[in-house]
Amino acid sequence: MSHSVMLPEWAPCRAVLLAWPYPGGDWASNYTEVVESYWGILAAIARAAPVWVLVHPSLDFSGFNAELEARVIEGVVKVRNDIHYDDTWIRDYGPISCSKKLMSFTFDGWGGKYCAKADNQVALSLSDWLLFQPRSVDFVCEGGGLEVNAEQVLLANEECVIDTKRNPKLHKEDVQNILREYLGVKEFAWLQGICLTGDDTDGHIDTIARFAPAGKTGCAVIYSGRNTLHHDASVLQSLHQQITVLAARWGWEVFELPTPIALSKVDGRLLPATYANFLICNDCVFAPVYHLPEDDAALAVLKRAFPTFEIVPVYCAPLLEQHGSLHCATMQVSTLAL
């Protein structure tokens, strides 16, 4: 058994990784808007931690650097353009911070839905920035599918971790043993059947329920709340019921976020908008907002859940067009991984 454990997101943060959108990727329908949103993400996070930016080799690197200089962003920003990637959702293929090491699981485009050959090499190509090589494991799993607290309880949705498309030969007990060995997980809090319409990940936990180091028990859970008018009302009700049971079992304090109804500005389809897709970084919680009526209520819930943190709203509506948000677009690297 490993003595190393996956670190909760509120562990001290050394840097945050971003993979910049590029025109040949998935963002053709709203490229200008998503790039502006990424500049907002970069500027916000750089005030709390260094930001390491991967700029796709197809982009004009000198133009990017000129834009970075012109925007006069406070903080440390490092950029490079020598690493290819398929997708901008670095949460799912970036290195996972554990105590005294970094892990790199296999990424296969969420069960083979999309090309991920370049993405799968990214974490292993960052050893100079990371100062050492992440440990590579032949097990398909994405960072957005895993949420741990300081007691090494893993909160996750079964459908995207115990999945025959991702790991066809592994049963539930096999998967749990792998997560125990490589991430130091002690106990499992599994959700079942929770996936918002349009979510390509089969229900990543970072879109539906998250931990916070708060509450009388030292841990709280924040989740996407009920909305009877939402297309996924029954799924959200099931999430509420399952979280209530798990929270009672472990003594977690519970915070229910609003779940907004967001429609695509490109083709009008329902988007998997969630306020649970926030990023915890040092003494800040970077909260996605969408210029929707529920924004203020969501920020108020997060302030109650994170009373000692600064809540920083970041406009992320353009990211919803590709079914992700702020947490999906980022990956923190902990100082404790050294």
**For residue 214, which of 303, 152, 275, 312 has the smallest C-alpha distance?**
303
* Residue 6, in any domain of the structure: no
* Residue 237, in any domain of the structure: yes
278 HSE (CA, 13 A, CB side) = 32
Task: Return the SS3 of 29.
Answer: helix
pLDDT of the residue at 95: 98
pLDDT of the residue at 218: 78
- Helices 31-45 & 61-71, crossing angle to 10 degrees? 50
DSSP string, 30-78: GHHHHHHHHHHHHHHHTTTS-EEEE--TTS-HHHHHHHHHHHT-SS-EE
* Residue 326, in any domain of the structure: yes
Q: Please give the Cα distance from 338 to 59 (Å, whole number).
A: 32
Contact 258, 225 (CB under 8 A): yes
* Residue 4, in any domain of the structure: no
Q: Please give the Cα distance from 172 to 162 (Å, whole number).
A: 6
Contact 107, 137 (CB under 8 A): no
pLDDT of the residue at 214: 75
Tokens (6 digits) for 244? 């209530």
Task: Return the SS3 of 1.
Answer: coil
User: What domain count does the chain have?
Assistant: 1
Averaged confidence pLDDT in the chain: 96
- Chunked in runs of 10, what are the mean pLDDT values of the chain (338 residues)? 84 98 88 97 98 97 98 96 97 97 97 95 97 96 97 97 96 98 97 95 97 81 98 98 97 97 94 97 98 98 97 98 97 94
Which CATH number characterizes residue 132's domain? 3.75.10.10
Domain extent, residue 72, equals 13-337
